Structure formats: C-alpha cells, structure tokens
Amino acid sequence: MKLTSLSLSIALLAAETASASFMEQTACTNKQQRKSWHTLTAEERLDYLHAEQCLMSLPAKYGLEGPVTRYDEFVRLHSLAAPDFHFTGAFLPYHRLIVHNHYEALRTECNYSGPQPYWNETLDAGNFKNSVVLDSATGFGGEGAAIGDCIQDGPFKDYISPIGSYRIDTAHCISRKIDECQSSKAAQVYINNCMAKQTFGDFWLCIEELPHDGLHQGMGGILRYFGSPGDPLFYLHHAYIDKVWWTWQSADPEHRLYEISGQNQLYAFPKFLSETDMCGVAPESILPPLEPYGLGAPGDPGMETTLGHVLHWAGVLTNVTVGEIMDIEGGMLCYEYD
Ligand SMILES: *[C@@H]1O[C@H](CO)[C@@H](O)[C@H](O)[C@H]1NC(C)=O
Ligand SMILES: *[C@@H]1O[C@H](CO)[C@@H](O)[C@H](O)[C@H]1NC(C)=O
Ligand SMILES: *[C@@H]1O[C@H](CO)[C@@H](O)[C@H](O)[C@H]1NC(C)=O
Ligand SMILES: [Cu+2]
C-alpha cells in the first residue's frame, strides 16, 4: 500500500518535471486565431486564398530537389518524412507542426494577417460536393473532371506542381474525385466515438482511422497520398484534426496535455488497415509502402514515441521535439480555436 503510493508520487513528480522542462518562459498572451471556414466572411476567405496563391508564386528557398515554389516545399517536406508520422505516435504532433509552419510562412512571407481557418467537416460529411469550402468564387473550387481529375474552377485550378504523390515526381494539376461514402466517415458520430477514448494511444488511432481518413479518401485525388499537402485543403483539414485533438487534451489537461505514446516507426500497420473499410475499399489500395527501419527513432529511448521524439524536416527546418508542441498555448506555439 505504502509502496504503491510512493511509486505513484514519484511517477507524478517525474511527469511534472518532464512537462515543466518543455514549458518555455515566454508567456502566450497574444494568441493567434483559428476559425471555422464556415463562419468567415467572404473577405476573410479571399484573404486566406490570396495568401495561399502568394505562397504558390514565391520561389523555393531550401534547395531541395523538386520544389519550384514555397508552396511545393511543404509538400516535399511532408512526403519526405511521411512514413515517420503516419500510423505512428507522432501523427498528431507532426501535423500540428506542419500546419503551424505553413501558417507562419503565410504570415511572414505573404503578409497574411487573418486567422488560420479549419474545415469543420462534420457539417459536410456525406455531402462534400455542396460544401461552401468548395465554392468556386470564395472557396477552394470543386472536384476534378476529365483527364487526371484536375480541378476545374476556383483559385487553384491552374496550379501545376512538380511534386508527385510520394517520391516519384511528375508535373500534375491539383486533382480531386469526391466519394460521398468516404466523406461520411467525417460524421460527428465518429468524432464522438474518439472523444470518449481515455488514452492517447486509443484516441490517436481512432482519429487517424475514421474522421481523419474521411477527408483524404472522400476528397480523393492528390489528398489520398503522401503528397497530400499538394491540395491546399490539407491545411484546413489538419487544422480541424488539431482542434479535435486539442479539445480532447483540454478535457483532462492534467493527464492529457503531455500524454504521448505509440510506435515510433512504421513497424506495423494498425489492425483497422487490414480490413476492407465501411465503403468496401480493400486495404491494399490505400496503404503506403512499409519501409525497413532501424531500431527506435531520434529522441526516443526505445520503440515508443515520447516527449523527446524529434520532429525533423529533412534537415532544412529547426528540429522540434514532440514535448515542445503538446501545448498550443505555451512554449513555441500560441494560438487558440474559436
Ligand atoms: C509584404 O509587405 C512588405 C512590407 O510592406 C513588402 O515589402 C513585401 O513585398 C510584401 N510581401 C508580399 C509577398 O506581398
Ligand atoms: C462542428 O460543428 C458542430 C455543429 O455546430 C459542432 O457541434 C462541433 O463542435 C464542431 N466541431 C468542431 C471541431 O469545431
Ligand atoms: C535533427 O534531427 C535529425 C534526426 O534526429 C538529426 O539527424 C539532425 O542532425 C538534427 N539536426 C539538428 C540541427 O539538430
Ligand atoms: Cu500527413
């Protein structure tokens, strides 16, 4: 009895020390805003779309092979490291970071001063085709048509990216092919199911499987692959998934603010990927390749993702640890959701 409570307090003390070391001294007072696309004014929507077009017009600066524009560089960074952070414990942290990095580029390089929007996908689940997000005048344009499912309207219809769906580069348009069975995976019922999970490991797997995959498979085209940031909808989607994670964290901050776990390399696909999904899609058609890995991952003592896990970007961006971005209102991040 006594021993148990002693080891418990030691564990708690260790957890507190770990979290404290990740909290920087800089206070988060002037929070950046994240807002639902559905509630933005037409002018706010256009500001965001113009900022994205600006990023698509700026020249690449990291010297990576492939990217021509600043916009392309984020696509390349995502696909280069993609096997490290899909179906692994770093899935949510990595996407939190890439949305932040992309937003910083819009702000500092394209003078964007509006909020980071997110797409509340539950509002359009099963009916992506009619979403305001895909409006041709004040949105991202609709789905594709003709050869290559190239999008036909909206501000990005003429954008050609040299970055392929994964590691092989071929010049292509932004493609989409909506599947409303897949888009119904974004429904609130699946969000609620995940919100009820009590551990990070259960929550993350639940999110990555259903609500998260609903957008990627439901929108189709380039969003189905590791080159998914090639469609600017990627950032609205992952800001949304980030909001869902933050809501889950905030429901029990004492336990969840710094809770992380999960395999730290893509050793195995989660069980749900071995089964045909609810829309009758067989797993082989959506699985990324499994790659051979060494033991463990940078910053982790073993095979589990920890707060020390290094989120790295092909050596071109500053390395960040998972622990540094667990709190969106402290350390290197300072933003809030509406
Ligand atoms: C951002 O604003 C600065 C200062 O006004 C200006 O020099 C720069 O050209 C602007 N950048 C873009 C991409 O519009
Ligand atoms: C999406 O909208 C629904 C309906 O207004 C709301 O209940 C839900 O909380 C929203 N989800 C997020 C993540 O904002
Ligand atoms: C960033 O992390 C990677 C992976 O651990 C490592 O190879 C690289 O040296 C690190 N870069 C810096 C600047 O620390
Ligand atoms: Cu991703």
Mutation test residue for ligand 1: of 57, 106, 108, 111, the one with most atoms within 8 Å of CB: 111
Q: Tell me how many domains the chain contains.
A: 1
Does 46 fall in a domain?
Answer: yes
Q: Which helix (H) or strand (E) holds 107?
A: helix 91-110
Q: Annotate 108-136 with b (16+ C-beta within 10 A) or e (fewer).
A: eebebebbbbbbbbbebbeebeebebbbe
CA-nearest residue for atom 13, ligand 2, is: 244
- For residue 268, the enclosing domain spans 36-332
Cβ(314) – ligand 3 distance below 6 Å: no
| Ligand 4 geometric centre to CA of 305 (Å) | 17
User: Ligand 2: distance of its center to the CA of 79 in Å?
Assistant: 30
pTM: 0.91
From the CA of 54, give the closest atom in ligand 1: 13
Q: Check if the beta carbon of residue 58 is closer than 8 Å to that of residue 69.
A: yes
Instruction: Give the position, in ligand 3's atom list, of the atom nearest the Cα of 298.
Output: 5
pLDDT at site 19: 47
**CA of 297, closest atom in ligand 3:** 5
Intervals of the chain under pLDDT 50: 1-24
Query: What confidence score (pLDDT) does residue 38 get?
Result: 98
Residue 241 lies in a domain: yes
* CA 86 / ligand 4 centre spacing (Å): 6
Residue 88 is predicted with a pLDDT of 93
pLDDT digits (tens, 9 = 90+) for 131-185: 999 999 999 999 999 888 999 999 999 999 988 777 678 889 999 999 999 999 9
Q: Is the CB of 76 under 6 A from ligand 3?
A: no
Is the CB of 122 within 6 Å of ligand 2?
yes
Residue 22 in domain? no
At residue 8, the pLDDT reads: 34
**Pocket of ligand 3, candidates 77, 311, 319: which has the most ligand atoms within 8 Å of its Cβ, to mutate?**
319
Residue nearest to atom 5 of ligand 3 (CA): 298
Q: Which amino acid is at 331?
A: G
Residue 324 CA to residue 222 CA, distance in Å, equals: 30
For residue 319 and ligand 3, the question of a CB distance below 6 A is answered with: yes
Rounded Cα distance between 211 and 155, Å, is: 27
Ligand 3 lined by 310 (C-beta under 6 Å):
yes
Which strand (E) or helix (H) includes residue 48? helix 42-55
Q: Are 115 and 32 spatial neighbours (Cβ–Cβ below 8 Å)?
A: yes
Which residue is closest in CA terms to ligand 1's atom 1?
A: 111
* Domain presence at residue 29: no
pLDDT at position 146 = 81
pLDDT of residue 21: 46
DSSP 173-224: --B----HHHHGGGSHHHHHHHHT--SHHHHHHHHHHTHHHHHHHHH-GGGG
CATH number of the domain residue 327 falls in: 1.10.1280.10
Report if residue 20 sits inside a domain: no
Note whether residue 98 is domain-resident: yes
By alpha-carbon position, which residue is closest to atom 4 of ligand 2?
123
Output the pLDDT for position 266.
82
> 204 CA to middle of ligand 4, Å?
13
The atom of ligand 1 lying closest to the CA of 109 is 13
Whether 4 is in a domain gets the answer no
- Residue 284: the pLDDT is 64
- Given this model, what pLDDT does residue 5 score? 34
Q: Is 34 in the pocket of ligand 2 (CB under 6 A)?
A: no
Q: Which ligand is nearest to the CA of 84?
A: 4
Within a domain: 14: no
